[in-house]
Amino acid sequence: MDYKLIWADYFNQDQIDTSIWQIDEVGGTSGNNEAQYYSQKNAFIKDQMLHIVARKEHVKGFDYTSAKLTTKNKKSILYGKVEVLAMVPKGLGTWPAIWLLGESIKTDGWPLCGEIDMMEHVGHTPNEIHMSLHTMAKNHKKNNHETKFLKIPDATTTFKKYSMVWDHQSISFYIDDVHIVTFNKPLNATKENWPYDQPFYLIINLAIGGWWGGKIDDNIFPVTFKIKHVKIYERSE
């Protein structure tokens, strides 16, 4: 299958490109009981990389700060390939993620809008990478979501290429071009069990604590989630 690059960010400029990224300024989002306040000052470009830095500091009622970037209202993705070259941080309480939400979240809410988790990592299970789908029919709150995890021994010390290939019939995940898992569209597909035939937007964030992030080790801060590039491709027929 051939793919054509439609946009990319190599983070080789001085400032974060706001034509691509919205940098959130908000506390404890996602309903996951997270401990961080997302601040724009915690995301910056240095050494030709995007740095998302979490710090131990008290801001607006939160004991930690971090950053969350999204392409919401700027760049939408529908089918094709998404590739992110990243190195996850190490330490108890860290919860970095590369994920997507359906643009219908504005009207449908979560989980009817659908969620695609290309990469999630939590500090209390070092070097374990998770890839998941969440729908109205199957999601983590029902504990029945489609998910796969595996050990990547050097995930916190080297850059890994996390990729997703998405078409009308399936969503597949790869790490360093090695196929990990494919989730297929059900035969009786509905919006409730396959909301993946609509545009999604990309999210890159570093959460702290929360229901899954768990206990936080205050000795790790500051800690950084590093991203070298983001590439979005469409299929060229």
Q: Which residues are catalytic?
A: 115, 120
> Rounded to two decimals, what is the model's pTM?
0.97
Q: What is the pLDDT of residue 102?
A: 98
Q: What is the pLDDT of residue 29?
A: 63
Chosen CATH of 3-235 out of 1.10.3720.10, 2.60.120.200, 3.90.76.10, 3.20.20.70: 2.60.120.200
> Which of 68, 91, 89 has its CA nearest to residue 158?
89
What the block records as the tokens of 228 is: 């070298």
Give the pLDDT confidence of 139-187 residue by residue, as tens digits.
Answer: 999 999 999 999 999 999 999 999 999 999 999 999 999 999 999 999 9
Segment 193-204 mean pLDDT: 98
- Residue 1's pLDDT band, with cuts at 50, 70 and 90, is confident
Q: What is the pLDDT of residue 47?
A: 98
Q: What is the pLDDT of residue 159?
A: 98
Phi-psi sector, 213: left (phi>0), alpha (psi -120 to 50), beta: alpha
Q: What is the mean pLDDT of the chain?
A: 96
Where are the domains positioned within the chain?
A: 3-235
